[in-house]
Amino acid sequence: MSEQLNSDLSMSEQLNSDRLESVEPKGRPIGGTEYSWCKAVPVGTGITVAALLLSKPPDFSFLQNALRKLQISHPILRSKLQFDTTANTYSFIIPPTPHLQIQPFDLSSTSRILQSLSNPNNSSISPFHLIFEHELNLNPWCNLDHSFDTDTDVMFASVYTLSDDKWAVMLRLHTSACDRTTAMSLLRELQGLMGEREGEGIQREIEKEVDVSLGIEDYIPSGKANKPFWARGVDMLGYSLNSFRFTNLNFRDVNSPRSSEIVRFQMNSDDTDRILSGCKSRGIKLCAALVAAGLIVAHSSKCLADDQWEKYAVVTLIDCRSILDPVLSSNHPGFYHSAILNSHDIKDEMLWELAERTYTSFVNTKNNNKHFSDMADLNFLMCKAIDNPALTPSSSMRTSFISVFEEPVIEHSTELQRDIGLGDYLGCGSIHGVGPSIAIFDTIRDGQLDCACVYPSPLHSREQMQELVDEMKRVLLDF
């Protein structure tokens, strides 16, 4: 049955390829937000990885066809990012047919990679975690703007054999085409395709070519991004001057080459429910509690007097799909998040009072449409930081102390996940070029909080960040 299914898959894919072979590639120039990611990825920020840990060996032929189906359904995922040396800009070029090939790593190859990553600080970290970090720091786009009219795929796939009973499926994407919502949607769709039985759903044909989606700027509701010229100048000056006053978490190594690493913290369902109930009773969201806990721990780590203030920056990322025109669905791939930057003066604080204060500041900024009207300003400043790293503390290009998402990802286990042997999954992006000191990718899985916290290493050490998140957890539980 498996051989027949794979044969049917190959035949269906060949028919689709034949139908599309004569179609000219589509494409479009990138938008402003996408351009900022094209500038950021070469220096190490904006490599998105979505990964599945499986206890059953994946059928490579089936998995290959499942990924091809995703690329057919979502043309941006089969696109190539092209740099035009004449115009000094980038474009998405979408070939008519998928071209993704899975890169397999057998047990010996995976073992060699793990050995190269091993050090005393990693002794207690799972192979899945280490391979995820390894993928997070592979950068096929690092020299794209020096490649003289060549192009590079926006999506890569790998399968690592971790042991005799564990495999890791890794999708690595350029963030200009994949925000957190896209990454989690891809994992869900891939699980669904991997779980199809007896050919169910496999013979779906392409009825028509899907149009290439536009950048977020083209979907902003009319008038929401408007800002007078002088107001834009004042805001730009304010952002620039304030950045010199922001406090950073203490740096550990400012000279060594940087990469992105992850620490995770998790809570049981009872503790998660307590925190969510505390947020709900105060009319705030989980992101505010995470920010408040992080700020309290960061400030206390400096061992300052109780009445001594420090100014910290917080970036909150908003998935704008539901407020765009037209509204986009959650499985519409691309980068459709906007950022709100707030600064807060912090001294000795109580968790919920600080959470309410930071959340009120965020909501007021959002109600003033700053997530749309300041989008171009923040993108411009991000690019300027990349072009002039010496203007940032220790050339670290830290944009804020912490970044969070307005809403967590909420997931529930399914029979399908058990069928495919799903043991764990992760989805987050690299930040070691330009970004915060800690980026929190929060998920509530079966009622339990699970946060993947990304940080730039060795600018910050694993021990330092593990202590930070452990203290954050303690602050959240001791309220």
pLDDT of residue 41: 97
* Interval 236-250 mean pLDDT: 84
Assess whether the previous peptide bond of 120 is cis (omega < 30° from 0): no
**What is the percent of the chain with per-residue pLDDT over 90, rounded to a whole number?**
75
CA neighbours within 13 Å on the CB side: how many for 276? Answer: 16
- For 344, the token pair is 């807060």
According to CATH, where is 3.30.559.10 located in the chain?
Answer: 2-216
Give the pLDDT band of residue 20 (cuts 50, 70, 90): very low
According to CATH, where is 3.30.559.30 located in the chain?
Answer: 217-477
Q: CA–CA distance from 334 to each of 34, 153, 173, 344, 471 (Å)?
A: 9, 14, 10, 31, 35
* Interval 378-399 mean pLDDT: 93
Tokens 């059928």 belong to residue: 59
* Interval 168-173 mean pLDDT: 98
pLDDT of residue 210: 53
pTM: 0.91
pLDDT of residue 27: 86
pLDDT of residue 182: 96
Question: Which of the pair, 307 or 212, is modelled with greater confidence?
Answer: 307
* Interval 247-262 mean pLDDT: 96
In terms of Cβ atoms closer than 10 Å to its own Cβ (0-12, 13-18, 19+), residue 167 is buried
Dist. CA 320–CA 399, nearest whole Å: 21
pLDDT of residue 226: 87
Mean pLDDT of the chain: 89
pLDDT per residue as tens digits for the range 354-367: 999 999 999 999 99
pLDDT per residue as tens digits for the range 57-110: 999 989 999 999 999 999 999 999 998 888 888 999 999 889 899 999 999 999
Dist. CA 341–CA 403, nearest whole Å: 9
pLDDT per residue as tens digits for the range 311-332: 999 999 999 999 999 999 999 9
pLDDT at 338 over 50: yes
Q: Which CATH superfamily is domain 2-216 in?
A: Chloramphenicol acetyltransferase-like domain (3.30.559.10)
pLDDT of residue 2: 42
pLDDT of residue 143: 83
pLDDT of residue 148: 54
* Interval 145-170 mean pLDDT: 89
Q: Which of 156, 168, 60, 48 is nearest to 114 (CA)?
A: 168
The beta strand positions in 3-114, using DSSP E, are 26-29, 45-54, 80-84, 89-94, 103-105
Contacts 24+ apart (CB under 8 A), 358-361: 358/288, 358/291, 358/292, 358/295, 358/314, 359/284, 359/285, 359/287, 359/288
Distance of CA 16 to the CA centre of its chain: 31
CATH number of 217-477: 3.30.559.30
